[in-house]
Amino acid sequence: FDPLYVANEGKLIAVVKKNMADTVLTVMKKHPFALDAAIIGTITADPADHVTLRTNFGTTRLIDMLSGEMLPRIC
């Protein structure tokens, strides 16, 4: 299962201006649920029409739109 395509409660991705990223991160890390908060990416102008992810192996992969239904939550 790819965690990008299954329900994942209790997570936050905040998109903030680059010049505010460190400040926002510092404030977030003061909350007990955000001790592991981190900057995980950047927005660039190129390529403008899709999102890529850098893997642990140093390669990149395209993040596609979900092609079907999201897997249901299992609570």
| pLDDT at 73 (0 to 100) | 65
58: left (phi over 0), alpha (psi -120 to 50) or beta: left
Tokens 């409660």 identify what position? 9
Nearest to 20 by CA among 28, 11, 9, 31: 28
- At 37 the three-state DSSP class reads coil
pLDDT tens digit sequence for 9-68? 778 889 999 999 999 999 999 999 999 999 988 888 877 778 888 888 989 888 887 777
- At 55 the three-state DSSP class reads coil
Q: How far is CA 35 from the centre of its chain?
A: 16
- Its pTM surpasses 0.75: no
